Amino acid sequence: MGTAQRKRLRTIPEKPDLFDQLPDELVLHILSKLSSSASRPSDFINIVITCKRLKKFALDPFVLSKAGVKTFAMKAERWSDPAHQFLKQCVNAGNREALYTLGMIRFYCLQNRGSGASLMAKAAIKSHALALYSLAVIQFNGSGGSKNDKNLRAGVALCARAAVLGHIDALRELGHCLQDGYGVPRNIVQGRRFLVQANAKELALSLRSMLTWKPQQKHVEEQQNLHYACTVRGPAITGCPLLSDFGCNVPAREAHPVNGFLKEWFESRRGVLDHGLRLCSHGSCGRPETRPHEFRRCSVCGAVNYCSRGCQALDWKLRHQVECIPAEQWQGILEDGGDHGFGGMVEIEEGEDVALVE
Ligand SMILES: [Zn+2]
Ligand SMILES: [Zn+2]
């Protein structure tokens, strides 16, 4: 309600302003519901700027602690000191999504590695699956340091915690680590089991999304973390949702808004990548290298590079398998009946270790 409108209401004695009579607790409760279910930052900001009373309650730590992931889904071009301050206020209120979002922005965009990693660690302590997985990616790559700062065991431990919380990419990464003996004693059978579990979860989510996906029911704060860690994109399913590691088509999963922020940040040149540094080639990731040749390259073409096996596997399915394999190889696949393992994934996985350019 605008100030002018409220002033007009006050001039009519027989019609008191009902809004002013609402108990504080009720206003706080309504605003906390709004902040947790906002579908874009402006949904919430427009309330804050409406009147003094709403501003006071909207910035109450109780309301800020409930703010949902899309309340922070700001555009990189709109990044400003007030936006930073707002995220900090939400962080101070203990909001897990704000901890993760500001952590990623500080680590990758503002190059404040220590503070960024610390914020993500605080989100991870609060069982934020994406924060655990992002910290694992940082440990596997030694991001922010030299290649000697890679800590594979820490990466595996973080992946395991994220996997327990239901993060599919973390479960898949864990399976590959066990199969390859990467940061953990080699156990091919257990690794295979994790990969099958990751595919089964992906299949279950695809089927569920096809049958029941309703975006408006996904606004509960507790669900948001896993929503972005796991769910597939949108209600419209194209193709057949089947096991992706076995070469079948699974719809793309929805990326967390902060990944879009990172991508925009560097692509719009708001943030400048140092010479020789590249973004992860998976279109929905946005993570940049923090030193030259940090990310692994595709061994077949050498033209793309990835922050993680999860990004490599997703990009392979969505885009790169068509671009990567030379035409003569396609001819060979067609002629010998396509017996090349799991729909081309083996081609890229086999070469991963030799593809590391360090
Ligand atoms: Zn990536
Ligand atoms: Zn390639």
Per-residue pLDDT tens digits of the chain, which is 358 residues long: 555 555 555 555 566 777 777 888 888 888 888 888 888 888 888 887 888 888 888 888 999 999 999 999 989 998 999 999 999 999 999 999 999 999 999 999 999 999 999 999 999 999 999 999 999 999 999 999 998 999 999 999 999 999 999 999 899 999 999 998 999 999 999 999 999 999 888 888 877 776 654 544 444 444 555 556 655 544 444 444 345 555 555 556 678 999 999 999 999 877 788 888 999 999 999 999 999 999 999 888 888 999 998 888 888 888 898 888 764 565 555 554 433 333 333 333 333 433 333 2
How remote is the CA of residue 172 from the centroid of ligand 2, in Å? 20
How remote is the CA of residue 289 from the centroid of ligand 1, in Å? 10
How remote is the CA of residue 20 from the centroid of ligand 1, in Å? 49
How remote is the CA of residue 186 from the centroid of ligand 1, in Å? 25
Read out DSSP for 117-151? HHHHHHHHHTT-HHHHHHHHHHHHHTTTS-GGG--
Report the alpha-carbon distance of residue 303 to residue 357 in Å, rounded: 12
Question: Which numbered ligand comes closest to the C-alpha of 134?
Answer: 1
How remote is the CA of residue 347 from the centroid of ligand 2, in Å? 9
How remote is the CA of residue 195 from the centroid of ligand 2, in Å? 22
Question: Which numbered ligand comes closest to the C-alpha of 298?
Answer: 2
Domain positions in the chain are 1-57, 74-209, 273-355
Report the alpha-carbon distance of residue 58 to residue 60 in Å, rounded: 5
Dihedral sign, CA of 135, 140, 145, 149?
positive
Q: Return the structure tokens found at 76.
A: 């990189």
Question: Which numbered ligand comes closest to the C-alpha of 289?
Answer: 1
Question: Which numbered ligand comes closest to the C-alpha of 297?
Answer: 2
Taking the alpha carbons at both ends of the chain, their separation in whole angstroms is 60
How remote is the CA of residue 67 from the centroid of ligand 2, in Å? 40
Report the alpha-carbon distance of residue 141 to residue 280 in Å, rounded: 12
Residues with CB under 5 A from ligand 1 (ion): 280, 282, 285, 287, 307, 311
Is-contact 200 173, C-beta < 8 A? no
Is-contact 278 284, C-beta < 8 A? no
The pLDDT, as a whole number, for residue 237 is 40
In this structure, what DSSP letter does residue 255 have?
A: P
The pLDDT, as a whole number, for residue 260 is 94
Report the alpha-carbon distance of residue 178 to residue 157 in Å, rounded: 12
How remote is the CA of residue 66 from the centroid of ligand 1, in Å? 28
3-state DSSP call for residue 25? helix
pTM of the model: 0.78
The pLDDT, as a whole number, for residue 177 is 93
Single-letter amino acid code for the residue at 263: K
Q: Which residue has the tokens 């879009």?
A: 260
- Report angle CA 141, 144, 146 to the nearest 5 degrees: 65
Residues with CB under 5 A from ligand 2 (ion): 298, 300-301, 324
The pLDDT, as a whole number, for residue 256 is 92
The pLDDT, as a whole number, for residue 154 is 97
What is 74-209's CATH number, 1.10.8.60, 3.40.50.300, 1.25.40.10, 1.10.3720.10? 1.25.40.10
Question: Which numbered ligand comes closest to the C-alpha of 137?
Answer: 1
Q: Return the structure tokens found at 273.
A: 């990548």
Question: Which numbered ligand comes closest to the C-alpha of 326?
Answer: 2
How remote is the CA of residue 331 from the centroid of ligand 2, in Å? 17
How remote is the CA of residue 17 from the centroid of ligand 1, in Å? 52
Question: Which numbered ligand comes closest to the C-alpha of 348?
Answer: 2
Q: How far is CA 94 from CA 67, 76, 137, 150, in A?
A: 10, 23, 24, 30
How remote is the CA of residue 313 from the centroid of ligand 1, in Å? 10
Q: How far is CA 181 from CA 156, 175, 274, 278, in A?
A: 11, 10, 33, 28
Report the alpha-carbon distance of residue 162 to residue 170 in Å, rounded: 6
Question: Which numbered ligand comes closest to the C-alpha of 355?
Answer: 2
